[in-house]
Structure 1
């Protein structure tokens, strides 16, 4: 007998946001603390703690940030000393802004963040999609993308403010949003805080794709942007992201299409392995013998 395919299985499944329980607890970093079946607290694998600097050290750090000069060797050496001691959470955003020269980037660039977002909202309106409901619109974006690709000649005659590339970009970012720190309070569930957090992350990523079209959006950028948004305001997070992705002393080239920097990093790591292969082999054998002895 021929087996019938389920009608429900053939339908496209829409994304359902994870509801946030009213009783959910968060750690000091904003990540949810859940419980296992045994009702034991399930935390992340490392027991992190924010550093507790003395009031004198905090005052010294605030003074350093108030007269910060990124070109000064003294400022750089002093901030390195504080980084080794640990930057308190309340000052971490200010330190990032100084180290990445966020204010200078925004002041000297011709790119207008708000104007870019205004341009992006046009295609979103035409698609019937909101930045505040981008996750629930993944199925809609996929269907529209397939329809446009199937009827490309007909769609070009219509007066629309979006193209297939726009939909592909929106959809790819939306797919990554739902798996970028989904247990953080700013992205968890469908609470007002989470909806706003997801919209901020979407706007920062779509703005960078417009800012640097040669790179566009690549998978993995959402994690960097999400961490920046945990400590910085939205536009500050955008400029911090541009500094990290565009400046060679950070991760410039890791997200471009030719993978030049990734190839270089892999070559360096392979060279290190080649130089230390005897030691690495000894460690592997020792680990293997240790595991074998436990059986």
Structure 2
């Protein structure tokens, strides 16, 4: 009798696991399909106070939607543009002889002052050796995306994170739009690339920031390099193992 109960219990658990796997597979397919179809009715994320109209917000030079600013002193704006122009010329000079400047005190100081948007993507790719990593793994990104379509068990969490990431930025505002799909693809690919970490809290904002300046595949390999070479993977894995919820600020301090 006891053996029969044990058999029935094992069979029931197996059946429940199979049903759960089928439900997850169905949901995974549905979510992938939504991103592939794109924004059918041009759905936009609400970015502001419910008491304010969307026309009360404008985009700043980085693409973030903000309340309409008050008039500024034109002299301050002119001074800022001149400063940024000088800074850009200095960065172009450094990039022409990158191996000489990288790691130097001057390079670090200029990083702290801010990398001009015109060269930011190029600088990030050089600093993270993105092209080298990508050349060492040809075709890997596309393979990981296909594997995620069949096996990723964090699709629901990733889709939810994508929806809430930089809701006030122009390129991520359109639900299931091009950049939201790119962010989704980067995150599911990374979940397959590093299953020990998978998707962790805050990764969507890091990946989205990379996507503002890099292509989809370059952003993926930049994320890989950040996680592998700057302690990100170990920090996230440790936090998950201890059941802790980590913030982006905590990760950045690492």
TM class, shorter-chain normalised?
A: 0.5 to 0.7
Larger radius of gyration: 1
Residue 179 in structure 1 maps to residue 156 in structure 2: no
Tell whether the 8 Å contact from 1:180 to 1:222 is kept in structure 2 after alignment. yes
The one of 203, 206, 209 equivalent to 1:227 is 209
For residue 97 of structure 2, the aligned residue among 67, 76, 99 is 67
Could you tell me how far 1:92 is from its partner in structure 2?
1.3
User: Gaps spanning 5+ residues in structure 2: where?
Assistant: 1-42, 48-52, 71-79
Q: 1:204·1:225 contact (CA, 8 Å) conserved in 2?
A: yes
Q: How does 1:126-145 map to 2 (within 5 A)?
A: none
Runs of 4+ in 1 over 3 A off after TM superposition: 19-24, 50-57, 118-121, 257-263
Q: Name the TM-score, length of structure 1 as normaliser.
A: 0.54
Q: CA deviation at 1:98?
A: 1.4
SS of residue paired to 1:222: helix
Equivalent position to 2:129, from 74, 96, 101: 101
Residue 32 (str. 1) matches residue 60 (str. 2): no
Q: How does 1:122-271 map to 2 (within 5 A)?
A: 123=150, 162=151, 166=152, 168-190=153-175, 195-247=177-229, 249-257=230-238
Shift in alpha-carbon separation, 1:236–1:85, aligned structure 2, 3 A? same
Higher-RCO chain (CA-CA 8 Å, sequence separation at least 6): 2
Tell me the CA shift for residue 59 of structure 1: 3.1
Partner residue of 2:120?
92
Distance of 1:26 and 1:54 partners within structure 2: 20
Show CA shifts across 1:153-189 (max 9, x none). Answer: xxxxxxxxx5xxx3x4110101111111111111114
1:111/1:261 CA distance change after superposition, 3 Å: farther
Match of 2:45 among 18, 23, 27: 18
Indicate the SS of the match to 1:76: coil
Superposed displacement of residue 52, structure 1: 5.1
For these two proteins, the number of residue pairs brought into alignment is 189
SS at match of 2:66: strand
Going by fraction, where is helix more abundant, 1 or 2? 2
User: In 2, distance between residues paired with 1:221 and 1:255?
Assistant: 9
Could you tell me which runs of 5 or more consecutive residues in structure 1 were left unpaired when the two chains were aligned: 1-15, 42-49, 124-161, 270-295
Distance 1:65 1:171 in 2: 41
Q: What's the offset of the Cα at 1:108?
A: 2.3
